[in-house]
Amino acid sequence: MRAKNVITLDGGAHTGKSTAAQRLAARLNWDWVSTGAFYRGLARVADAAGISPDNEAALVDLIRSKEFRVVLTPEATRFEYQGRDLTGEIFTPRVGDLTPRISRLAGVRAGLLQAQRDLIKGRQGLIVEGRDCGTVVFPDAVLKFWFIVADEAAGARWAKSHNTTVAEAVEHIRERNRRDVERATAQMKPASDAITIDTSDLNSEGVVSLLMQKCHEARLLAARPLGE
């Protein structure tokens, strides 16, 4: 059976999926979550605690402590630890460098998987974006999208916000995507039934319009709230 109230958006770095997920959720009046916030948040807390990003056992223990949580709002996926909102601290360059190292660990991914799935409880619908949402987190999602973008377009987006050259940005993105594709568990790849969205020549509104068209075709706008 399909999960009639879950849509997944997966793809590599700087494909535009985060912006698209947020705007699509607003159009459908569903909630959205960036699964990357779980890994970024864990990386931030582990780093502050002096835990190596390669220490799988210690990271799993930190997950089991249940002292951190992800909170969904219409505007963002918020990360809290011991009651403190640390969302603004999980997007630093250091956390960005540490996150791929912890996200490759099978124990970490298994430890966070149920928490990600539990976000659907009590919600009318959920837009989930990340790397393996349609293949691992919600393989039964009613609609799955796989975002791609030309290297140069992705590089230009990253370079603009990180004060670097496009060539350097392209190399950075290729390496980041390579790690996600080649990791031992939950490799980044499209679900067999995912719809490919190429964002190279589309602005954010164009992407959302295309997604809405697919939602109409799938009759998702008639989806019933949970429990009905």
pTM (predicted TM-score)? 0.86
User: In whole angstroms, what is the distance from residue 82 CA to residue 222 CA?
Assistant: 39
Long-range contact list for 53-59, CB < 8 A, 24+ apart? 53/98, 53/101, 53/102, 54/101, 56/105, 56/106, 56/107, 56/108, 57/107, 59/102, 59/105, 59/107, 59/108, 59/111
Residue 210 clears pLDDT 80, i.e. is over it: yes
Burial class (CB in 10 A: 0-12, 13-18, 19+), 107: middle
Per DSSP, helices labelled H in 65-218 are 93-103, 106-117, 151-162, 166-182, 204-217
What mean pLDDT do residues 208-222 have?
A: 85
Which pLDDT does position 153 carry in this prediction?
Answer: 87
Residue that wins the pLDDT comparison between 143 and 223 = 143
Q: Are strands 195-198 and 141-148 parallel, antiparallel or unpaired?
A: parallel
What mean pLDDT do residues 57-69 have?
A: 91
Q: Report yes or no: 53 and 43 within 8 Å, Cβ to Cβ.
A: yes
In the structure, what pLDDT confidence band is assigned to residue 46 with cuts at 50, 70 and 90? very high
What mean pLDDT do residues 6-29 have?
A: 92
142-164 pLDDT, tens digit per residue, is 999 999 999 888 888 878 777 88
Please give the structure tokens belonging to residue 83.
């009651």
Question: What stretch of H or E contains 84?
Answer: strand 84-85
Which pLDDT does position 3 carry in this prediction?
Answer: 75
Q: Report yes or no: 37 and 130 within 8 Å, Cβ to Cβ.
A: no
Please give the structure tokens belonging to residue 105.
């660990």
What mean pLDDT do residues 57-73 have?
A: 89
Which pLDDT does position 228 carry in this prediction?
Answer: 36
Which pLDDT does position 74 carry in this prediction?
Answer: 65
Please, what are the domains in the chain?
A: 1-30+124-217 (3.40.50.300), 32-123 (3.40.50.300)
Which pLDDT does position 151 carry in this prediction?
Answer: 87
In the structure, what pLDDT confidence band is assigned to residue 173 with cuts at 50, 70 and 90? confident
Q: What phi, psi does 77 have (nearest 5°)?
A: -100, 110
What mean pLDDT do residues 33-43 have?
A: 93
Give the percent of the chain with pLDDT over 90: 56
82-132 pLDDT, tens digit per residue, is 989 999 999 998 998 899 899 989 999 999 999 999 999 888 899 999 999
What percent helix, strand, coil does the chain show, rounded to 5?
50, 20, 30
